[in-house]
Chains A and B, each alone.
Chain A
Amino acid sequence: QIQLVQSGAEVKKPGASVKVSCKTSGFTFTSYTISWVRQAPGQGLEWLGWIAADSGYSNYAQKLEGRGTMTTDTSTSTAYMELRSLRSDDTAVYFCARGSLFYCTTGVCYGPEDYWGQGTLVTVSS
């Protein structure tokens, strides 16, 4: 069956970095995209970006202000999201999710997220 299993909860100090992993199984990793979405406590969903698992092509939300980097390791079917210069408002549950990859009028596009990881709580606190 299709699974996305994320790494465990993290506690970080302001200014530090965190790297969340998302190990996938049950599908051909290189044929899909991985999106990252976060949810602050009691708040809605915030889209962070997506990456094509094979090529590494990616798009990021402007709000990340260049602090985030998404990568994939095709040898282990694992995706990663690193966030640097952490602030207290980065405290959230971070989700990875699988999406389709297709070509659209603007180039390469990603499709809606049909399978999700269980979420990783990242707490930023001094």
Chain B
Amino acid sequence: DIVLTQSPGTLSLSPGERATLSCRASQSVSSSFLAWYQQKPGQAPRLLIYGASTRATGIPGRFSGSGSGTDFTLTISRLEPEDFAVYYCQQYGSWGTFGQGTRLEIK
């Protein structure tokens, strides 16, 4: 099974700053079947990025994804107050698995 490891565990930044979140896979993720989700307390996850770099419908342009193989990155170019949440990467396709999450908190 593919294991996804996210770093850092917690990221403390201020609104307006740039956030860079990492997701590393234990083996190559086929065809870049890698997605990113945002989750706020008490809510279901929200799909942000799929195919490693394609923004889902309605997702603002400040969110971008990159990477291939075993190393993937979610970048938020300029943090808005509503962006502070927990972010998960996910591998999908035949099977699924989630990373353990990165908590993005206000500094």
Contacts and interface: CB of A to CB of B under 8 A. Distances in A.
Nearest to B100: A44
Given A111-B50, A112-B50, A113-B45, A47 B94 contact: no
A71 interface: no
B8 to A, nearest CB: 15
Interface in A89-122: 95, 97, 99, 104-114, 116-119
B21 interface: no
A49 B100 CA distance: 17
Contact of A50 (B33, B50, B96, B100): B96
Contacts of A110: 92-93, 96
Interface residues of A, number: 29
A35 interface: yes
The SS class assigned to the A binding surface is: strand
Contacts of B37: 45
Contacts of A114: 47, 56-57
B41 to A, nearest CB: 10
Interface of A: 35, 37, 44-47, 49-50, 59, 61-62, 95, 97, 99, 104-114, 116-119
Interface of B: 1, 30-31, 33, 35, 37, 39, 44-47, 50, 56-57, 86, 88, 90, 92-101
